[in-house]
Amino acid sequence: MRRFEEMQERFSILEEGLDAVLGFSSFGIHCGIKKEKNDLAVILSETPAVAAGMFTKNEVKAAPVLVTKRHLERRGYLQLVVVNSGVANACTGKKGEEDAEWVAEKAAQYFGIPSVDLVAVASTGVIGEFLPLERIDEGLRRLAAILPEKKSSRETAKAIMTTDTFPKERAVAFSTGGRTVHLAGIAKGAGMIRPNLATMLAFLITDAALSREDLERLLHEAVDRSFHRVTVDGDTSTNDMVLLLANGKSGVFLEGSSGLSLFREALFFVCEELARDLARDGEGATKFVTVSVWGARSEEEAKRCAFTIAESPLVKTALFGEDPNWGRIMAALGRSGVPLDLSRIHVFLNGVPCVRWGMRAEEASREELRRVMGRKEITIDVHLGLGDASFSVWTCDLSLDYVRINSRYS
């Protein structure tokens, strides 16, 4: 709550999502890729927008990742993003790339985009399946008839979902130089989440004008502070993509201005909130968990400790079972590969001590710790007592439903 209050002092937090940003329109529909629910969406800028992107580091990259990277490298601008859910178009060989290019070409034709290189394509869903091109073609025609007269951020956010249980949107506005800048984003992802990036897609748009250098730098900083700090199950997907588009329709050029630092804060906020939503909506999750490691010798060591705890199946199942088995946290720490001094370690669950000086804390009873573990949001704070570095990771518990969802996904 305090986080939102602090942000509202600097920014207006908007309910309209992507719809708030000048010069952009978006919509999502059901075109028949999935049995029901939205499965195809587009995000359209009135004019070519300066763009930056980040993509999965998985060596097995899906066709849309390869195609969109090429388009972005050739032009540095994007005007249209086409996203489908239900089929990942990954591990589909040469035909998969040809199909992704075909979708981009058809979209450019229907939306009047002057170059196919201004079109980004993204997919999420089952790996190994080919895109149903006829259905996507018909869907693109329908969307071209809808936009830009009708738009809906919510329908767009719903169209990119797979096992997500709710659409993820954030939007903010701030004033600089007497004018207003809008920034908004949508994201999807609930499983196969461990960024480098995570089956995670995120699309961010702004009506500010920025140089490509600033856009790329800020996107990398924002992703490192947000999406790279989420883990649901430790798996990195084939299709991860984050795109940031700036079309300048607000008339505010941020390069070298005081507004650039405000934009940076706004971008960090939007990305961090979307990242938290990914962890909250982890497949089968019943708890949202923050793991914070303090007092490390370096940020890298703090990061290794935090991710080892957050990805431990034993820790995650204890969270699901509401069992205050802090020994699992200590065991995970011990196998992180970070040299530790056991006698300096303290561990807290939602501020309640469970470990002091590497041993069971006497202050809190097991009953009190069990009550803490019964909450829907849990913070695990680990103090190493070795230095000044820290790192936080967002995750969730590991439930019976996670196994059920992933045993039946395809």
CATH topology (fold) of 288-407: Ubiquitin-like (UB roll) (3.10.20)
Specify the pLDDT at position 199.
47
Specify the pLDDT at position 6.
67
Higher pLDDT, 352 or 165: 352
Confidence check: pLDDT of 176 > 60? yes
Higher pLDDT, 167 or 399: 167
φ/ψ region of 284 (left if φ > 0, alpha if ψ in -120 to 50, else beta) reads: left
Confidence check: pLDDT of 96 > 50? yes
Residue 364 confidence class, pLDDT cut points 50, 70, 90: confident
3-state secondary structure 78-110: EEEEEEEEEECCCCCHHHHHHHHHHHHHHHHHH
Q: Output the CA–CA distances (angstroms, integers) from residue 376 to 289, 345, 379, 382, 397, in the order listed.
A: 8, 26, 10, 20, 10
Active-site annotation holder among 56, 162, 199, 236: 199
CA end-to-end distance (rounded Å), the chain: 39
The residue to which tokens 């329709």 are assigned: 249
288-407 shares the fold of 2-280: no
Distance CA 373, CA 186 (A): 31
Residue 156 annotated in active site = no
Residue 161 confidence class, pLDDT cut points 50, 70, 90: very high
Confidence check: pLDDT of 35 > 70? yes
Give the percent of the chain with pLDDT over 70: 93
Distance CA 71, CA 219 (A): 18
Specify the pLDDT at position 192.
47
Confidence check: pLDDT of 101 > 80? yes
Domain segments of the chain: what residues? 2-280, 288-407
Confidence check: pLDDT of 258 > 60? yes
Length of the chain in residues, anyone?
Answer: 410
Specify the pLDDT at position 278.
87
CATH topology (fold) of 2-280: L-amino peptidase D-ALA esterase/amidase (3.60.70)
What one-letter code names the amino acid at 399? S
Say if CB 16 and CB 154 are below 8 A apart: no
Specify the pLDDT at position 175.
93
